[in-house]
Amino acid sequence: MYRFRGTLLIFIFLFFFLIIIFYDDQKQFASNIYNKYKHSWIEQALGQMHTCTPNDGLRQRALLYTLLEWTQLARKNKILYWIGHETLISYVQRHGLSPHALDLDILVMVQDTSHLVKLRTLYFSSDYELKVHPQWHLVGKRNDSYFNAEGIDFVEPIARFINRKDHVYINIWPMLDYHPNKVKIGNITKEMFNEYDENDKWESSPKEWTFPLRPCRFSGVNVYCPAEPEKLITNISSIVCINGSWQKSDEPISTKTIITNENSEISEQTSTALTTNPILSDEELLEKALNSVPTCQSNDRDRQRYILHGLQAWSHLAEKYNIQYWISYGTLVGFIQRRGLLPHDLDTDVMIMFNDTRKLVEISKLNFSSTYEIKVQPQWEIFDDRNRSYFRKDGIHFVAPNARFIHLTARYHVDIYPVYDFSPIYANRSIEKQESENLTAYDNYYNWLSYPRSWTYPLKTCYFSEIKVLCPAQPEKFIELVYGTSTLTKSHKKCVEGNWVNAD
């Protein structure tokens, strides 16, 4: 009897032991697949990145994989962080790494630095290390106190995450929820955040520019971004490749509204580069943008030029008549992938709220342009466009968008699609709330998609091939929903022997 019980216990032990091993194997297998995809996204981003000096490619790869390692460490240990400074500028400009970047920048709340101090002793890696400045609790520049014996050869960031093998690092900067020159009273939530800028001055910004943080993708790496990145950055002179080295461009620096602590009031600070070059006109900006758009077919450049001019004209019209719109579908894909026009695109896409179509009806009756016209689908109030008709005699050669903004001679156009704040499936607006928590639109296969309103609002200003347009609040979320994750980084077209063909 006892022998039987002993055998049974051994059997049960072995059974559970095998289950644990199988579970760990499956977990590791899933993790390996996930890491493989993450590495694939990074490699795709690297494949699209410019190089100028011989070691650019190695440095760029090292920086992105260091960032990937940091994100995994931060997620595992629940570290709240977001990209900032030069890295945030690079995200706004190109949704990823600047090809000339030597390091990366992230921010943490200063009170969370104690968590980094503990983590420094617990994190073991042969390739990476976390260094925290011993005087991190001193705000501002730490009196040039280096601790070289401990490998602390920096004073301004509070910490660094260092790639030992490739000699690159991530600077970790503090964000304060109080002004360092004022007494902090209790734990009252402050409306302003304060950070030490690269000019050794304290700069303040509204808390809502940073929080709530939102997930974003930086050259294939999933990171966290502040809520309103464009408001937090200062545009600097662009860096260009000249004769095999990265050099500062002579183009003027744009204006940014910031809050200065010297006079405790909002002021407009304008920085301009030391140059005599004039500010570029809209036409010159478009030509500059076109230089970065690849061509494949002989007529590509003319088509691309017409398309961008059309979007620019639409943007001016929308601003003049107070039409609230945002770029979407293929145009939003282009913004995410390359901050501008996809080289093979045949038109551009924008969205408006369904009820705003009435504005377009009224504008279409005006003599607003000698170059463009607005055509509104007469049956635009029929939700399912498969039940609409063509009105070819009236120049209505479409049913799907509610309207088109069309060049009178070239016929290239901006498609204007509706978005609903009620469910068109039931088509009963009277039973819906005045402002639904969700918006509804068509996907690529004529399916209705409902998604959070917060993915669209608040709209933000962005630049699409140098054209000032409006973008949704979380563009990646909508594109992932409609087209899938791979569309964030991979084009579905490629140039083969002078023709655009479907990519593998």
Q: Is residue 233 part of a domain?
A: yes
Rounded distance between C-alpha atoms, residue 239 and residue 129, angstroms: 30
Q: Which of 465, 426, 175, 94 is nearest to 312 (CA)?
A: 465
pLDDT of residue 1: 55
Domain match, 294 and 208 both: no
pLDDT of residue 190: 52
Please, what is the average pLDDT of the chain? 81
Full DSSP string of 111-126: GGHHHHHHHHHH---S
Q: Which of 419, 373, 374, 375 is nearest to 397 (CA)?
A: 375
Q: At 326, which CATH number?
A: 3.30.460.40
Domain match, 215 and 187 both: yes
Q: Which of 158, 238, 242, 240 is nearest to 196 (CA)?
A: 158
pLDDT of residue 14: 62
Domain match, 164 and 194 both: yes
Write the pLDDT tens digit of every residue in 442-482: 876 778 899 999 999 999 888 899 899 999 999 999 999 99
* 426 contact partners, CB below 8 Å, separation of at least 6: none
- Write out 113-177 in H/E/C secondary structure: HHHHHHHHHHCCCCCEEEEECCCCCCCCCCCCCCEHHHCECCCCCCEEEEECCCCEEEEEEEEEC
For residue 125, what pLDDT band results from cuts at 50, 70 and 90?
A: confident
Domain match, 298 and 238 both: no
Which DSSP symbol is given to 396? B
Q: What share of the chain is helix, strand, coil (3-state, %, to 5)?
A: 35, 25, 40
pLDDT of residue 47: 81
Rounded distance between C-alpha atoms, residue 195 and residue 181, angstroms: 12
Domain match, 186 and 317 both: no
Q: Which of 270, 301, 316 is the last residue of a domain?
A: 270
Write the pLDDT tens digit of every residue in 194-218: 776 656 667 788 998 999 898 888 9
| pLDDT for 291 beyond 90 | no
Q: Is residue 30 part of a domain?
A: no
| Residue 251, token pair as written in the block | 């183009």
For residue 433, what pLDDT band results from cuts at 50, 70 and 90?
A: very low
Q: Is residue 23 part of a domain?
A: no
For residue 264, what pLDDT band results from cuts at 50, 70 and 90?
A: very low
- pLDDT: which is higher, 173 or 442: 173
Which of 82-86, 182-186, 329-333, 498-502 has the lowest average pLDDT? 182-186
Q: Is residue 20 part of a domain?
A: no
Q: Determine the average pLDDT of the residues in 138-151.
A: 66
Domain match, 237 and 345 both: no
Residue 269: exposure state from Cβ atoms within 10 A (0-12, 13-18, ≥19): exposed
Q: Which of 94, 75, 105 is nearest to 198 (CA)?
A: 105
∠ CA 207-213-216 to the nearest 5 degrees?
Answer: 140
| pLDDT for 25 beyond 60 | no
Phi, psi of 183 (to 5 degrees): -75, 130
**% of the chain at pLDDT higher than 90:** 47
pLDDT of residue 214: 87
Domain match, 230 and 306 both: no
Q: Determine the average pLDDT of the residues in 240-257.
A: 61
Highest mean pLDDT among 175-179, 263-267, 324-328, 382-386: 324-328
- pLDDT: which is higher, 41 or 404: 404
Sheet holding 202-206, edge to edge: 192-196, 202-206, 255-260, 265-270
Sign of CA dihedral 263, 267, 273, 275: negative
- pLDDT: which is higher, 480 or 27: 480
| pLDDT for 59 beyond 70 | yes
Highest mean pLDDT among 25-34, 269-278, 352-361: 352-361
Domain match, 366 and 236 both: no
pLDDT of residue 18: 56
| pLDDT for 381 beyond 60 | yes
Rounded distance between C-alpha atoms, residue 324 and residue 327, angstroms: 11
Q: Which of 396, 478, 383, 470 is nearest to 428 (CA)?
A: 383
| pLDDT for 139 beyond 50 | yes
Three-state DSSP class for residue 61: helix
pLDDT of residue 466: 87
Q: Is residue 1 part of a domain?
A: no
pLDDT of residue 34: 42
- pLDDT: which is higher, 61 or 188: 61
Q: Is residue 4 part of a domain?
A: no
Domain match, 245 and 302 both: no
Q: Which of 270, 301, 332 is the last residue of a domain?
A: 270
Q: Note down the domain range covering 240.
A: 39-270
Q: Which of 270, 291, 318 is the last residue of a domain?
A: 270
Rounded distance between C-alpha atoms, residue 465 and residue 463, angstroms: 6
Q: Which residue has the tokens 């629940």?
A: 78
Domain match, 154 and 228 both: yes
| pLDDT for 96 beyond 80 | yes
Domain match, 186 and 72 both: yes
**% of the chain at pLDDT higher than 70:** 77
| pLDDT for 427 beyond 60 | no
Q: Into how many domains does the chain fold?
A: 2
Domain match, 288 and 391 both: yes
Contact 229, 91 (CB under 8 A): yes
Which of 5-14, 48-57, 358-367, 378-387 has the lowest average pLDDT? 5-14
Highest mean pLDDT among 13-27, 258-272, 397-411, 486-500: 397-411
pLDDT of residue 82: 96
Q: Determine the average pLDDT of the residues in 499-504.
A: 89
pLDDT of residue 177: 83
| pLDDT for 374 beyond 80 | yes
Sign of CA dihedral 373, 379, 380, 381: positive
For residue 29, what pLDDT band results from cuts at 50, 70 and 90?
A: very low
| pTM of the predicted model as reported, rounded to 2 decimal places | 0.55
pLDDT of residue 232: 86
* 480 contact partners, CB below 8 Å, separation of at least 6: 487, 488
Q: Which residues of 49-61 are buried (b: 16+ CB within 10 A; e: fewer)?
A: beebeeebeebbb
Q: Which of 258, 253, 276 is nearest to 202 (CA)?
A: 258
Q: Is residue 374 part of a domain?
A: yes
Q: Determine the average pLDDT of the residues in 422-432.
A: 54
Q: Determine the average pLDDT of the residues in 301-312.
A: 96
Residues in the chain: 504
Phi, psi of 190 (to 5 degrees): -90, 150
For residue 269, what pLDDT band results from cuts at 50, 70 and 90?
A: very low
